[in-house]
Structures are given as C-alpha cells and as structure tokens.
A and B are shown apart, each in its own frame.
Chain A
Amino acid sequence: MIIKFRLDGRDVSVEVEPNELLLNVLRDKLGVKAPKYSCGIGECGACTVLLDGEPVLSCLTLAVDANGREVTTASGIKGEEAEMLMKAFAEEGAVQCGFCTPGMFVMSYALLHEKKRPTEEEIREYLRGNLCRCTGYVNIVRGIEKVVEMGGKK
C-alpha cells in the first residue's frame, strides 16, 4: 500500500508492505539514516523518532502507522533550541562514536519541549531508554544541562 506522511518537513509518499517497519522504510526507501538499528526490540533508543511530536521507537512501529502523520528524525529537528543542543553536545563532549547520538538528540529535544527546566534527575529519567556504551552518560547530561542553564527554549 502507498502511505503518505510528512518527513522532516517535506511530504513523502512511499509504497510499503504491512510488515515493514518505519525504521527500515525511513532508511532503505527514503534515505533518512539518522535513526539507527541497534537492538531491534526497544531496549536502546537508537531508532527514536518523533511521531506527531512524541518520541517513539521506529524499530517497533509499522510503517503504515505513519500514514497521514508527521515524522521527525534527528536530521529534521530545527530551530534555536536544536542549534543550542547541538552546540552544547559538541562543547561538552557528549558525542563519542555517535551511533546513539541522533536518538539522544531527539530525546533531549523532546524533553526540553516538555519541561523547560528539567533537573539532572529528570534528564536521566527521560533519557533512560537510550543506551550509550561510550560516554558513561555524564557529558550528555552536561550538554543538556548547559542548554537548560542558558534558558533553553526562547
């Protein structure tokens, strides 16, 4: 079947099978590779995208469920807050191998939309579904906190 949705600010339409996952359709058919396959079962958060603004796991979402909706990946997140996050990630050493980072970015962005001034505990709670094997998480939290301190969303 053909599905249509908004992907990172553009309209796309693509033919999919019912058993196809959103993650694979984004990557294989639409060329958006920010969401990554890592665990495949919702344990790691590397495939996180925003579906109508809410973070979901694209590895456990049928592509057909995106029909008529809005999908935003790390590549499509824009705006001042996103810029601040990206800069803070770079400055604080939040990025190492970078494989988990798009998922971390999507989650951090979603968090700052939900809560303007999250505490460290709230940051950790919100991102606990995203695994990182490199950083020990400290510098990712620092990156997010830096944006919080700067006032986050303008």
Chain B
Amino acid sequence: MGSTNYKFIGRDIPRRDAEIKTKGLLEFSSDIYVPGMLYGRIVYSPYPFADIEEIDTRDAESMGATVITPKDVPRKLFNIRLVSVEEVTFKDWNVLTMSPRYLGDPVAAVAAPSEYLAQKAAEAIKFKFKKIYRPVLDAFEAMSLDAPAIRERILKGEQEVTVSKNVGAELNFSEGDIDRAEKESDVVLERSFKTNRRYHFQLETKASLCVPEVDGRLSVYTTTQTIHNTRILIGQVFGIPLSRISVKRIPIGGSFGSSIQTNLVTLISVALCLKSGKPVKIVLTREEDMYDHADYEMHLKLRIGAKRTGELTFGEMHNIMDIGAHQVQAYPLLGTALGWFVSLYKWKNILYEGKAVYTTKTPSCAFRGYGAPQVSWAVESLMDELAEELKMDPLVLKLKNYVGLGDVFWGQGPTVRSIIRSDGVKELVERGKQLIGWDKRQPPSAKKGRFRNGIGFGRSFHTSGAGGPISGEVIDYSGATLKLNEDGSLDYITALQDHGGGTLEAHAKIIAEELGVPPHLINIVPADTSITVYDVNTHASRGTYVGGEAARRAAQMVKSKVFEAATRMLPKAVNPEAFKIRYDEALEQAVVYIEGMKDMKVTLAEIAKASWQRNWGTIAATVSYRATSAPPTFTVFFVEVEVDTYTGTVKPKRVVAGADLGTPINPKLAEGQLHGGFVMGWSMAYLEDTPYQRETGELMNRGMAVDYKIPTFEDAPSIEDFKVIFANTYEPTGPFGAKGLGEAALNPVAGAVANAIYNAIGVRFYTLPITPEKILESLSGGE
C-alpha cells in the first residue's frame, strides 16, 4: 500500500557496513584488543553433576595467573535474562558454582597474559569432590521419583521456591469445555512429537572484554542482544551503580537468540577484571560455546478435534520442555508456546499443560522463533493429517481455521494480546500455490521408483515485539535519540543491537523517509549504555517494528522542531503545521516548504545552520516508546523435496517462501531473511541435534563442529529454485506499515519440509530431525 510513493522505504540501498564487514575491518567483541589485556579461561568440572568440596588454585596462582573461584563472586542467585518482570523471573544462576549441574557450569576462571598461559593455569586447577551424581539426561527420567534433585531451592523474584521432581516451572491454561467439544467432534487426532535440541551455531563464539577505565568505571565489550540488560545485570550481580558501567554496542557475529540473556562469559570477564584490576578478555572456544546454549527440547503431545466440515472443535497441547541445567526463560516460554498454539488456528476450546524440567544438559535458551518452529512443526504436521482424515486439501482446511484479520493474537503468551490488523495469508497461499504447482500435487500412493518427489506446505507467523495495550509479564519498550547537526546531517543514537539483518539500516531509512534526508547523511552512532535510553532487547522480531517506530517518532519530534525553526526563517508563515518536508531530487537534500507557495521554501541544512549561527540551540529529540500492539508477520512455505528411497537422503528441490511483513523496508535484506530462514529450518528438519553420552553426560560430539552439521552452499537450493513473495499489506501500527520478519522467516519451514517428505513417501515422522537413517528405517529396506 503506497510503498511506491516512498523515497527510501522499499528501495534497495546497499547497507553502509557491507564493505567494512567484507574487508574484515569491522570489529566484533573478539576483535577488540587493549594494551595490558589478560586472556581469561573458564574452568569446568569433569563431572556434570557434582558437589565440590574444595578447589585448589595454588598451582595456577604460582604460575602468576589471576584465579577466581565461587568464593570470589557474590553468592546470590540471579537469572542471566532480564526481559521478564522481576516477580516471574526464576533465578538459579551463579557466576561460578561449587555445585555444577552440567559440564558447562563454570566453577572457576583464570586470567593470564596469553591464551596459552591461561590454558596452562586452567589445567593446573584441582578439585576435591563432596559428591558425584549420575547425569540426568532425560526430562521424563528427571521427573521420576528416584531421580536426584538437580535443584532444590531457587528464587522466583525475591521469593524462595522449592523445586519438586526437577520441575522448574509450570504453566497451565484452559478455555472452553474440552470434554464437550470432544463429544461433538467427528475426528479426534492425538500424536506425540519430540523436537531436537539444536545448537545455535552462530559464527562468533561468545566473547567478552571488560576494561577498567582510569577513573574506575568499567567498559564492557561483549556479544549481546541487549546492552542495557547486560549493564543492569552486571550492576545487580556485582553491586556496582549503573552509572559506573558502560556496555558498548558491538557488532555481533550472529546470535539467533543465544545472547538475549547475558552470556555467563561476560560476568566472568567482569569478575576477573575486578580481581586483577586489568582488562580481561575471554573468547569461548567452539566446544565451550556448544555447552553454553541450546534450543528448548520440547515433548509435545497434541490432541485436536474437528467436524466433518473441517471446523475445528478443540486443541489440546501438553508441553514437557527439557530445559537443561538452568532456567533462562523457561517460564515465559511455557506461556509463549501456548500463545503460538492458540494463535495458529481457532481451536475454540483449549487445554494446555506446560512443564519445564531440569536435566544435566546445556541450558536451553531462546532460538530464533522462540518455540514457534517447534510448535508450528507439530501443528502443521497434525493439521495435514487431519486434512487427510477429512479428505480435504490441507490449504483449504488451514485457510478455513487460521487466526487472521480481526482475531486476537497472543504475541508472547497469555499476557501479550492484541487484535490483528493486517493479514496477507490468503494472498500468499494463493500466489504460492500457483508458483509451486500445488494443484498438480499427487498423493504419496502415486509415487513410484527410487527417487520420489513431494510437495509440502507449512504456515506460521511470528510476533513483532512483545508490546501490547497493557503491561504484562514482559518488558518491552525501545528508545531513540536523534539530533540535527549543524550542517543538516543527523546523528541517530540507539541502544538497539543489529544482529546483521540490517535493522539499524532500516531505522536510518525510516528516519530518512520521515525527514526527507538521504540515509547516508544519517549517522548510526556507535553507542553504549551511557548515551542511550533503554531498549529491552533485539529479540521477538521487534527491531524494525518497535525500534523503527521509536526512530520514526524521534524523527517526527525533530521535524516539528524544524518547522518551528522554519517559521523564524520564513516569517510570513505563521503556523509551523503548514510546513511539509521532503527530499528534493534537484538539491539532493531535504527541503521544508509550504505546498503551492514557491517562495516558502528553505533547506534543512539552512535551518540547521541558522539554528547554530543564530543561537537558537540544537534541534534534537529523545523518545522512549512502547508499542500498543504486537502484530503477527505471517509466513508460508511451499517446499518440494526429493527423497532417495535407497539411501534416505532428502534434497530441497524448490522453495516458495511467502511473507506478510507489511511494508518491506529493505526488500533485498528481507528476501535474505527468508533464504536464511529456510536453510536454518531445513537444517532443523533434517540435520541438527545434540545427543549426549549417557554415562559421562558429555555431548557426543564433545563440542566439535565436525560433528555438528549445518548446511553448506551445496546443500541449499539454487537461486532459480528459490522464490520469495511478499504480501501486499500495510500494518497500521508499524513504522510506514512495517512488521518484523527475522523469526517468521524460519517458523513454518520444518512443518513444510515434514509435510513434503510425507507427500513423497507416505510416512510421518514425530521426532526431529528427520534423518536419512529414520527415513530408511521407516521404509524398511528401501526397495
């Protein structure tokens, strides 16, 4: 809607950081070096589940290393993620612990002048154990009566709570009458699904550098999606006033949710810095990083009912989440998983039970999609089964029942609800269907021979932010400062992190559009916590929708001040509201003007210069903004696969990806999100998992990338076979009609792939990933 009238929005403008990134000149946290810096190394327990009696640091210290153990750090429990409000934040973390509950729980740390010396000092630390327990690697085993208690007491907010049967958090919900609905159903399906425990495999391993400044302040450069929450946590844990801590916004080499929380490495670098009085940098090894974070492994039992007409009658979901050894956002995710479930289809009657269960594995944290890829895979698989049962086209069944325009959307669970105001699902399905050739699709029974092709469809969505009309359990607001420089260029200052999707580039274009200033004249200021107003996090696909709107509002405020200043330069104009601002192609700059009056025109640069020369003062604005809505970005994927029934190998042959993201601000970058989303989703469906050794509690791959596979250039579909379409929609609550995209781009993929595999070979899989091994097993021999 109207995007063609925009000067900058919707046009492909190469991002400004591309060249310095390509040349390797842009510095990531791990690239920052300061004189006199020490290198840190974290020390772990050889047993995943143990209580330590004593840590002997003498040898390490005699080597000249700075050593910290649990007695050097505050004892009070905390949670490394600060997005939820205090009352529902479950706290079971320490910086270092005497009671490791998985192999990656840090028990000590060292710092030395080189990585090699730090390594040697780390190797010299010795432990005496009080008690060693067997690892608990299965959520159901963990809930059994004879399983040892992984945690006994944790904090919920400031309150101590007792953990029973290793269940760290619970959330139940019901609406309507399931029993009655079941009686009225013609078809009831029940299936159990298990998702894979994926590892984010962001290219940059977690890293942190903490620098003590000469005046005693701390500067922190770290891999984070939120500089403010990282600062607050450092302040809370170490009891330092926030005004004494500056966390820098540093480019991050991918994250995908793994730094929504403050990675423990950050706090450890601070602790080592405080003890040594020197700058300390720690960069995790890939193998440590694989023990730092993983996705939530969900055991989902679904029951759904429908009438012969295809009208859904009820939906029930039981969600047992294996959260590993710590809570990051287990409790909020229990709610969010429910939110995804109820926002996919109109179940009418709903029952939900969610449990977050501790095991002695790597702690689960958000992973792009925040449970939606998992829930969508299960629901989209089951809806296809239901369609088959009802002898309906799955597209028809899904379009009939989906939650869309005018319905209530639970952006992030029960406390974040808003009304859907833009919805391109039907358009995307219609166009996608044509492009993939859906109507020519054959049932599995029609497929013969060694190589069998199948077409599958999956749909989902993701929220844009976690805002809403009321303040719920989630903190969600953003901020922006914009100042007009003396020559008419602008400085844009935000705390919001760009993961690489081009979020800040989008902000610059939004400001450009609002003020008619070309994007290259808008400086995205390297920022830190000291000079920015609060922004909660770049997560929940909120960067463009919430952060972008904050930027737009700052631009609007600047604009009205510019108009006031313009009245001083064009004294005949009595009302500043009569002014407009636009980009003037001929002048190649912004001009302020009154429509239809040729002489009522002044450039923004002239206004900026006058404000300076005439002592009118700086034109600037700072905004703190919370969205009143969290609209869904709808996505659909049509995928064609080829299954080799002799080897079980599956190849993606053709992909049609459709997104309803409102106005695409950077079309090419938006396309890139869908490309990346597909490959990540493909990998989730087909490749990834992190199995553990039963006896030792070790990752089977020991953290080595050689045995954690993600797709390569050759495993991804070719350019010609990958089509991206955008729906023609406009989100009235978003900046220039935009919604978020990062996560929606992934969420439907595993469901679409699973449905395509089914269409090829007629077998459904209820455990991810769907490996060639499982496929061949199911075909019993493959002939």
Contacts and interface: CB of A to CB of B under 8 A. Distances in A.
B23 A34 contact: yes
B22 A36 contact: no
Nearest to A34: B24
B485 interface: no
B694 interface: no
Interface in A31-46: 31-41, 43-44, 46
A96 B26 CA distance: 13
A135 interface: yes
A101 B28 CA distance: 13
B757 to A, nearest CB: 20
A97 B252 contact: yes
A14 interface: no
B704 interface: yes
A142 B671 CA distance: 12
Nearest to B368: A133
A152 B232 CA distance: 51
Interface in B199-238: 200-205
Contacts of B255: 97
A136 B22 contact: no
Contacts of B706: 41, 43
Interface stretch (B47-55, B446-454, B496-504): B496-504
Tell me what chain A mostly uses at the interface: helix, strand, loop, or mixed.
loop
B15 interface: yes
Interface string A39-60: 1110110100000000000000
Give chain B's interface secondary structure class: loop
The 10 A-B residue pairs with the shortest CB-CB distance in the complex, in nearest-first order: A34-B24, A97-B500, A99-B253, A98-B21, A136-B675, A90-B18, A102-B24, A39-B705, A136-B679, A90-B14
A7 interface: no
Given A97-B500, A99-B28, A135-B675, A127 B22 contact: no
Nearest to B37: A28
Nearest to A77: B23
A96 B672 contact: yes
A98 B253 contact: yes
Contacts of B203: 36, 38, 44, 46, 97, 99-100, 131-133
A54 B53 CA distance: 53
Contacts of A73: 24
Interface of B: 12, 14-15, 17-19, 21-28, 30-31, 33, 115-116, 200-205, 251-256, 283, 285-286, 499-502, 666, 668-669, 671-672, 674-680, 704-706, 710, 712-714, 716-719, 722
13 contacts: A17-B116, A19-B116, A28-B115, A33-B24, A41-B705, A90-B15, A95-B17, A96-B499, A97-B251, A121-B718, A125-B714, A131-B201, A136-B676
B519 to A, nearest CB: 13
A73 B21 CA distance: 13
A37 B283 contact: yes
Interface string A108-136: 00000000000011011101111111111
A131 to B, nearest CB: 6
Interface in A73-96: 73-75, 77, 85-87, 89-96
A137 B33 contact: no
Contacts of A96: 254, 499-502, 669, 672, 676
A97 B254 contact: yes
Interface centre among A77, A91, A129 (most CB of B within 10 A): A91
A133 B680 contact: yes
Among B30, B253, B718, which residue has the most Cβ atoms of chain A within 10 A?
A: B253
A98 B675 contact: no
Contacts of A135: 672, 675-676
B25 A75 contact: yes
Contacts of A31: 33
A102 B22 CA distance: 5
Interface in A1-44: 17, 19, 24, 27-28, 31-41, 43-44
A133 B23 contact: no
Given A97-B203, A99-B253, A138 B23 contact: no
Most chain-B Cβ atoms within 10 A of its Cβ — which of A17, A96, A131?
A: A96
A105 B22 contact: yes
A67 interface: no
Given A120-B718, A133-B680, A138-B719, A101 B22 contact: yes
Contacts of B717: 138
B209 to A, nearest CB: 13
Nearest to B252: A97
A136 B28 contact: no
Given A95-B22, A139-B668, 10 more contacts: A32-B24, A36-B30, A40-B286, A43-B705, A74-B24, A93-B671, A96-B676, A98-B17, A131-B712, A133-B256
A64 interface: no
Contacts of A75: 23-25
A141 B499 CA distance: 21
Contact of A37 (B30, B678, B719): B30
B21, B672, B674, B706: most-surrounded residue (chain A CB, <10 A) = B21
Contacts of A102: 21-24
A21 to B, nearest CB: 10
B21 A95 contact: yes
A98 B256 CA distance: 14
B113 to A, nearest CB: 11
